[in-house]
Amino acid sequence: MLLTVENAHKSYGALAVTKGMSFSVEEGETLGILGPNGAGKTTLFNLISGDVSLDSGIVHFNGQNITTLAPFQRCQSGIGRSYQVPHPFGNMTVFENLITAACFGGQMSEPEAYDVAEEVMNSMGLTSLANQQAGSMTLLNRKRLELARALATRPKLLLLDEIAGGLTEPEAQELVTELKKIKAKGTTMIWIEHVVHALLSIADRLMVVNFGEKLADGEPMSVMNDPEVKRVYMGIEA
Ligand SMILES: Nc1ncnc2c1ncn2[C@@H]1O[C@H](COP(=O)(O)OP(=O)(O)OP(=O)(O)O)[C@@H](O)[C@H]1O
C-alpha cells in the first residue's frame, strides 16, 4: 500500500470530525471520495498532508510512518495537494509559483525545475499566462494553477480537493482528460469531488464519508447503488 490511514481521530472541541477512520490506497490507484458537506472530507486531506495533526491514529506513506512529520516534509516525501480555495503565492507569477513548488516541494535543481514548470504549464494550458501575477488571475485560472503547483512537485500521491467545482461542463471534461493522463503516468490520486460524473469517469474505487465515518468503500458503481449511500448522499429513500 502507498498510503495507510489507521484509526484516525480528530475533534475540534466537542465536535468529532474524524471518528476512527481507516483506509488504504494502493500505488497507481485513483480513490474518489464523496460525502455531504461537513462530513470531514477536507479534514482527512489535512490529516494526510499534515496541515492538521491527528488526536490519535497513524498515517503511513511509502513505507514510512509520517504521522508526526511537518507538511513540508510530507510534500518532500511525495504528497502533493490542491486546496479547495486556491492558495497561490499571489505576488509571484505563474512561472515563479511553479518553480517554487518544484524547487522546494519537489527538491529539484533549478534547471530541472525550469523544465518541469514549462511542462506543467503546457499540460495545464497556462503557458500564455506564465508571466501573469497569480493573485490577479480569474478563479478558473487560479484553480488550474492550484493543480499545476501540486503537479510541479512531482508527487507520488496527489490529493485533489474539489477541483471541478465551478467549472463548465467542457472545462470539467478537459480536466478529466488531464487527470487521466496523470493517472496513466502512474500517479496515485485521491479526489474529493461533488461533480459525481467527473469523479466516476476516473475513480477505480469510491469511498463515501458521513459524519467522520466511512459509510461505504468499494467498486464505484456498487457504492453508488448502495441504498444507504443513496439515502445519505442523494436523499433517495430505498
Ligand atoms: N479548524 C477547524 N475548527 C473548527 N471546526 C472545523 C475546523 N475545520 C473543520 N471544522 C469542522 O469540521 C467539520 C468537517 O469539515 P470538513 O471541511 O472536513 O468537511 P467536508 O466534508 O470537507 O465539507 P465540504 O464538502 O463542505 O468541503 C465541519 O463541521 C467543519 O465546520
ipTM associated with this complex: 0.94
What DSSP line would sit under 70-93, residue for residue?
Answer: -HHHHHHTTEEE--SS----TTSB
- Considering its fold, how many domains does the chain have in total? 2
Which residue do the cell numbers 485513483 mark? 30
Measured in angstroms, how far is the CA atom of residue 42 from the centroid of ligand 1?
7
- Quote the pLDDT of residue 238: 63
CA 60–ligand 1 middle distance (angstroms): 23
Q: Evaluate whether 209 touches 44 at the Cβ level (below 8 Å).
A: yes
**Do both 160 and 236 map to the same domain?**
yes
Prediction pTM value: 0.94
Residue 3 beta carbon below 6 angstroms from any ligand 1 atom: no
What are all long-range contacts of 83-89, with beta carbons under 8 Å and residues at least 24 apart? 83/146, 83/161, 84/42, 84/161, 84/162, 84/165, 86/139, 86/142, 86/143, 86/145, 86/146, 87/146, 88/134, 88/135, 88/137, 88/142, 88/145, 88/146, 88/149, 89/134
Task: Specify the CATH number for the domain of residue 56.
Answer: 3.40.50.300
Both 147 and 191 in one domain: the answer is no
- 43 CB less than 6 Å from ligand 1? yes
135 & 173 share domain: no
C-beta 128 within 6 A of ligand 1? no
pLDDT of 195:
92
Looking at the structure, tell me whether residues 61 and 96 fall in a common domain: no
For residue 105 and ligand 1, the question of a CB distance below 6 A is answered with: no
| 160 and 144 both lie in a single domain | no
Cα(185) to ligand 1 centroid in Å equals 32
Look up the domain containing 101 and give its range.
Answer: 87-152
Residues 93 and 160 reside in one and the same domain: no
Look at residues 152, 169, 184 and tell me which one is the last residue of a structural domain. Answer: 152
Residues 164 and 234 in one domain: yes
Whether residue 94 sits in one domain with residue 46: no
Q: Are residues 148 and 159 in the same domain?
A: no
**Domain termination residue (choose one: 105, 137, 152):** 152
pLDDT at position 51? 96
- Residues 50, 163 share a domain: yes
Digits of tens for pLDDT over the chain (238 positions)?
999 999 999 999 999 999 999 999 999 999 999 999 999 999 999 999 999 999 999 999 999 999 999 999 999 999 999 998 888 999 999 999 999 999 999 999 999 999 999 999 998 989 999 999 999 998 888 988 999 999 999 999 999 999 998 888 888 898 899 899 999 999 999 999 999 999 999 999 999 999 999 999 999 999 999 999 988 887 777 6
Q: How far is the CA of 41 from the centre of ligand 1 (A)?
A: 8
Identify the domain boundary among 98, 129, 152. 152
Q: In this structure, are 127 and 166 located in the same domain? A: no
Tell the residue nearest (CA) to atom 25 of ligand 1: 37
Residues 10 and 32 in one domain: yes
Test site for ligand 1: of 34, 43, 160, most ligand atoms within 8 A of the Cβ: 43
